[in-house]
Structure 1
Amino acid sequence: MTANLLRLPSGAIVDGWHVSRELGNGGFAVVYLVEKSGKSYALKVARHREASGDDKRTHARMVREATTLLMLNHPNIIRHWGNGYAEAGNMYVALEYVDGWTLAEWKERKHPTVHEILGVFVKLASALSYMHARGVLHRDLKLVNVLIRKSDGEPVIIDFGCATYSLAEDLTEEGLPPGTERFRAPEQFKFLREHKNEHRARYAFKVADEIFALGAMLYELLTDPRPTEHYRRVSLNNIHMPPPSAVDVNPRIPEALSALVEKILSRNPSERPVDTEALRRELKEHLESSGAEYRVPAHAPSEQLPSELSMAAGGPGVPPKGPAPRKVITKALAAGAALVVVLAAAVTFWRVSGDLPAPLPDHSAPLMTSPPDMSPPSPSLMVIPPATDAGQKEGSTVMMTTPEVPSQGRPQRAQKRLSPAECAAMSLVAALAAGCPGAQIRPESFTCPSGAARAMVRDLHWKIGDQFALTLDDRHDREEMIWFTPGSDVVGVVPKLKGLRRRHYEVAPPGTRFYGKAYYLKKGFDGEPSLLVRYDRVKLPGQDERPVCFVVESRSYGFKDGRVQASNFDGGTVVERWP
């Protein structure tokens, strides 16, 4: 136990609650499975006690969570069973224990039909309508914060650590309230851009934000065969470019339902359902009028088999082998063929050789948490659509060589000039390779440390172009948005995550620590600074420290007092130099 952080061992007793084991560990609290009077409960304990100098104000958040739950009594909302203080002074809340799967796990294990998925979301909308009528906003709706109880299949909304209610104290010191980037409504990022110079500006979270988050969750289940796996996904909250329609990504989805999801994810909040009760009614109408097309699994079970090559947030991953999109996806990304050419150019630009996962059709970034831009699509979240005839299967090995210099007499193909929208849809590497206007300005030149090339190849067995996911600064929680000071030292770590591809496990396993410095790009896609982290040393578990060349570039969400705000979870690339 550190000065204020309480960790309870198995067998400990807190006010009669007998601790069995730890269930989860987040930025605000640690959750334990406990027993009392022969029944199981979940005990959520604040990470710090009151007046402990805790900048996250975890005690105040725990008080607010307990107050919020006391206002609610609904079968699809986690139930409060008591609260108090552990011996060390950390506050706890005792909760109903739900033996179930997260929504993502349920989708993969039970292979639900579109009708069954819709039934779950009718109940979730009903619970939100009940909650909102009492002035409560959850503010962190996502797939892992809804459990499907194994015994009866009922959905239960959990984790009210980010919730608020009418007249509650504002605990947020940043522009946006706490939450998960992928499920934030687009208007939140618009607010950040418009108020970037107003340090005291605070976004007022609304019911429309909650509706968007629920729509994003529904979109994920309808379009992603393997939502528990971590790989790059198309952005859902780009201000200017909506994601492709659900039916374009997955032809099994009925047109009418796809249109409703598109409405819920509208860039314009006024075009979404007016409130969650209206949303519940619309979802219920679809459920009651559903025909045979709703009675088939959203994805064939064979499409939902785990992929060894999928990668945790930020790294490229092999997409689900679902049916090819029925139409050319043009709403979110410009012509697929042109971008595939760009991808090839990007790979050549980096002089990559070795394993190259096939381009992704669509997905959400979990896990990559940095959203995109125009409000730029974050490099972490953007996806290159598949070529119609790539000439290779997913996961095949592509050997990329340095391009030949055209002979004098050889005709050269004119390079297609990409539009600003196409450029905005690409990662930094692809944009630089394609010669996009306004590409990021390099900071100072970057030379790899002496011995890095040899260490990476001979000792670590890394290849130029390998990509690994990591928490960028281990001093902060993985899902946080944090402020990086250019030139400051940072220590990144590969977290324990399911779904890391086999190569990631072998050459950069969980616990691998990266040592480096934070920098920034003076001009990103939107003209604002972007975060750049250069790691020049690495230490694998049980091994000695070695010199390396590993770079992470991530979209920023704020810039003030010389600091850049960005997601603390992203993917980086093994390089031989910074171009």
Structure 2
Amino acid sequence: MTSNLLRLPSGALVDGWHVSRELGNGGFAVVYLVEKNGKPYALKMARHREASGDDKQTHARMVREATTLLMLNHPNIIRPQGHGYAETGNMYVALEYVDGWTLAEWKERKHPTIHEILRVFVKLASALSYMHERGVLHRDLKLVNVLIRKSDGEPIIIDFGCATYTLAEDLTEEGLPPGTERFRAPEQFKFLREHKNEHRARYAFKVADEIFALGVMLYELLTDPRPAENRPRIAPNNPLMPPPPVRRVNPRIPLALSELVERILSRDPSKRPVDTDALRRELEEHLERSGAEYMVPAHAPSEQWPSEPSGVGGPPGVPSNGLTPPRRASRALAAGAALVIALTAAVTFWHVSGDAPSPILDHSAPPMTSPLDMSLPSLAPMVLPSATDAGQKEGSTVKMPSPEVSIQGRPTRVRNKVSATECAALSLVAALAAGCPSSQIRPESFTCPDGAESAMVNDLHWRYFDRFSLVLDDRHGRDEQIWFTPGSEVVGVVPKGKGHYRRQLEVAPPGTRFYGKAYYLSDKMGRADGPALVVRYDRVKLPGQDERPVCFVVESRSYGFKDGRVQASNFNEGTVVDRWP
């Protein structure tokens, strides 16, 4: 067995399969689009996990995946077409090629009705019931592991790399089986807490876990108009903050369906449907008695992306440059016009290539979402590079063309400089991007997220005004001075090494991760010693534990402000608080 897998170029030949291009890759395998006898297939080839140094483990996983697939024959499950070994010694499995969208892309691209979404989930529950009858568990159900075939709209469950079956060899090295954190049932994290000192303890994955994962998928399609967009969301499996009922997030969803989803996501496994066949029957009952309220799109068109994206070359619903298309908001245009009249100032709005997301309020986001994630309700739709996009890749640059404002449908060039009056009329995010003089993105006063006080006092054993040192942005080194984009998401981490107080080592040890946002606080906002960077962390995850809500603030002197970004040291101390300032 080779120690690594070189990427196969287009035109390569693997045991008679002609490689066209790479489709994707993960920790255990690389998937290629291949051709044989004039027909397209997907070829999944085992790869070496460099971090583990264990070729045999990777090979064993591919053998188990091939064995699992050979046990199944269902129209809604990916079908194997052969298996073998490449010249390098890496095992491969050839699969049918499904020309389709992921479940999340399908939701954004096709704007399905509630009835159509339910029809898909009836078929998924039926396929899972078929699998479970044969002792097979997928263990990694999520939106990207279901494809909707373009030709007939049929859902196909894919990627059995984490699957297992009765009497299969246990390949798990950790307490939990492989999978995706967001779709794990809460009892898995409870198991980790109860067995944290038992190194040989292994969680027994059950059908109830599979049902919970399917429930998360259904919850996201019913509550999130843009499930394929990569952004922070409330964790449906957070034991401290259960997700709000579907109907509360999206009033379009019928009450009976909302209550079913709530049961599927119950923290108590015994309250979920007893098995996937029972779940299938319940979903079918909803379909049979569904009325007019089920025949409308799950979200209003104004909340979703246009059905036909302007970009080409990228995945469905996403232009080729990787940015998502803007949201339509005609009512906001009218309100924006009224605001211009009221302020007697020519407020500047612009459109950036039609590709960047608008800073709009996401009603499916958790309650702790900062007000800085949205522009003022009365403003016209502002299309700006998101803070996450701008700060996501080191060295990446977002170039903005000269702004334009649309007046009665005619694009008109406007001056590059924005007056103080105009700046005052813009939202914080818009003002920063417009380059307004002394523009700030400033955190408003806030109280702790729901459950944070209990989590900090009872679970984490933190005390108010405890101080912990950490690297503010784990993408950069501890000793660097880096540029922060106000409004952007940051993940901090407590580094290994000396310099931590004894108390911190007990309650926030190395490896603890903090999740929050960066803000800019000027010297005109109460700072006597100059501008400052403020990072507000509202979630934390200790090693081996689940995520918890917190109130933790770092305030650091900044060393520069340029192009809307703030320069500050990447290592500092923060404080446990109950509100800020």
TM-score range, shorter chain: 0.5 to 0.7
Structure 2 SS opposite 1:57: helix
Aligned to 2:183: 183
Distance 1:9 1:576, change over 3 A: same
Match for residue 489 of structure 2 among 463, 467, 483: 467
Match for residue 397 of structure 1 among 428, 439, 458: 428
Aligned to 1:274: 274
Aligned to 2:18: 18
Structure 2 SS opposite 1:20: strand
CA distance in 2, matches of 1:550, 1:166: 52
Structure 1 SS opposite 2:216: helix
Say whether residues 1:531 and 2:513 are aligned partners: yes
Per-residue CA deviation, residues 121-174 of structure 1 (Å, 9 max, x unaligned), is 000000000000000000000000000000010000000000001111111111
Aligned to 1:105: 105
Amino acid of the structure 1 residue aligned with 2:287: L
- Is 1:16–1:36's contact at 8 Å kept on the other side of the alignment? yes
Structure 1 SS opposite 2:175: coil
CA distance in 1, matches of 2:367, 2:174: 25
- Is 2:368–2:449's contact at 8 Å kept on the other side of the alignment? no
Amino acid of the structure 2 residue aligned with 1:531: R
CA distance in 1, matches of 2:39, 2:472: 59
Aligned to 1:340: none
Aligned to 1:199: 199
Structure 2 SS opposite 1:262: helix
- Is 2:31–2:43's contact at 8 Å kept on the other side of the alignment? yes
Aligned to 1:327: none
Shift of 1:321: 8.8
Aligned to 1:486: 496
Aligned to 1:214: 214
Structure 2 SS opposite 1:576: strand
Per-residue CA deviation, residues 60-108 of structure 1 (Å, 9 max, x unaligned), is 1100000000100000000011110000000000001100000001001
CA distance in 1, matches of 2:472, 2:209: 41
Distance 1:524 1:271, change over 3 A: farther
Shift of 1:209: 0.4
CA distance in 1, matches of 2:211, 2:32: 30
Aligned to 1:225: 225
Distance 1:150 1:524, change over 3 A: farther
Shift of 1:390: 9.0
- Is 1:440–1:522's contact at 8 Å kept on the other side of the alignment? no
Amino acid of the structure 1 residue aligned with 2:85: Y
Per-residue CA deviation, residues 425-457 of structure 1 (Å, 9 max, x unaligned), is 89xxxxx9xxx856774037999999966x73x
Distance 1:440 1:141, change over 3 A: farther
Aligned to 2:140: 140
Aligned to 2:451: 421
CA distance in 2, matches of 1:360, 1:522: 37
Q: Which runs of 5+ in 1 are unaligned?
A: 312-316, 323-354, 364-380, 405-414, 427-431, 457-461, 473-483, 489-519, 534-548, 567-571
- Is 2:139–2:205's contact at 8 Å kept on the other side of the alignment? yes
- Is 2:114–2:298's contact at 8 Å kept on the other side of the alignment? yes
- Is 1:360–1:383's contact at 8 Å kept on the other side of the alignment? no
Shift of 1:175: 1.1
Amino acid of the structure 1 residue aligned with 2:369: I
- Is 1:245–1:259's contact at 8 Å kept on the other side of the alignment? yes
Shift of 1:383: 3.9
Distance 1:9 1:261, change over 3 A: same
Shift of 1:234: 1.1
Structure 2 SS opposite 1:35: strand
Say whether residues 1:244 and 2:241 are aligned partners: no
Per-residue CA deviation, residues 272-311 of structure 1 (Å, 9 max, x unaligned), is 0000000000000001110000000001223112799xx9
CA distance in 2, matches of 1:224, 1:294: 17
Distance 1:122 1:416, change over 3 A: closer
Amino acid of the structure 2 residue aligned with 1:174: E
- Is 2:102–2:148's contact at 8 Å kept on the other side of the alignment? yes
Structure 2 SS opposite 1:235: coil
- Is 1:318–1:360's contact at 8 Å kept on the other side of the alignment? no
CA distance in 1, matches of 2:102, 2:207: 23
Shift of 1:551: 8.8
Aligned to 2:568: 576
CA distance in 2, matches of 1:555, 1:19: 44
Structure 1 SS opposite 2:44: strand
- Is 1:551–1:575's contact at 8 Å kept on the other side of the alignment? no
Shift of 1:262: 0.4
Amino acid of the structure 2 residue aligned with 1:70: L
Shift of 1:4: 1.7
Per-residue CA deviation, residues 5-45 of structure 1 (Å, 9 max, x unaligned), is 23211111111111111111111100001111111110000
Aligned to 2:369: 384
Determine which structure has more spread, i.e. the larger CA radius of gyration: 2
CA distance in 2, matches of 1:170, 1:205: 12
- Is 1:438–1:523's contact at 8 Å kept on the other side of the alignment? no
- Is 2:428–2:440's contact at 8 Å kept on the other side of the alignment? no
Amino acid of the structure 2 residue aligned with 1:442: F
- Is 1:192–1:557's contact at 8 Å kept on the other side of the alignment? no
Amino acid of the structure 1 residue aligned with 2:200: R
Q: Please give the residue correspondences for 1:279-428 in structure 2 after superposition, counting only pairs within 5 Å.
A: 279-305=279-305, 360-363=362-365, 383-384=368-369, 392=377, 396-397=427-428, 400=440, 421-423=451-453
Aligned to 1:443: 469
CA distance in 2, matches of 1:552, 1:57: 41
CA distance in 2, matches of 1:193, 1:107: 36
- Is 1:11–1:18's contact at 8 Å kept on the other side of the alignment? yes
Structure 1 SS opposite 2:33: strand
CA distance in 1, matches of 2:452, 2:325: 22
Aligned to 1:62: 62
Given the two structures, how large is their TM-score scaled by the length of structure 1?
A: 0.64
Distance 1:156 1:81, change over 3 A: same
Amino acid of the structure 2 residue aligned with 1:231: R
CA distance in 1, matches of 2:130, 2:28: 26
Aligned to 1:94: 94
Shift of 1:531: 2.9
Say whether residues 1:263 and 2:294 are aligned partners: no
Aligned to 2:27: 27
CA distance in 2, matches of 1:421, 1:94: 48
Aligned to 1:332: none
Amino acid of the structure 2 residue aligned with 1:41: Y
Shift of 1:487: 4.0
Given the two structures, how large is their TM-score scaled by the length of structure 2?
A: 0.64
Structure 2 SS opposite 1:442: strand
Q: Which runs of 5+ in 2 are unaligned?
A: 311-317, 319-323, 330-356, 383-426, 430-438, 516-532, 548-553, 555-564, 575-581
Q: CA RMSD in A?
A: 4.6
Say whether residues 1:48 and 2:78 are aligned partners: no
Shift of 1:382: 7.7
The more displaced of 188-197 and 144-153 is: 188-197
CA distance in 2, matches of 1:259, 1:445: 42
Amino acid of the structure 2 residue aligned with 1:200: R
CA distance in 2, matches of 1:33, 1:225: 30
CA distance in 1, matches of 2:440, 2:252: 36
- Is 2:78–2:158's contact at 8 Å kept on the other side of the alignment? yes
Aligned to 1:125: 125
CA distance in 2, matches of 1:418, 1:468: 18
Structure 2 SS opposite 1:443: strand
Aligned to 1:80: 80
- Is 2:126–2:280's contact at 8 Å kept on the other side of the alignment? yes
Shift of 1:230: 1.1
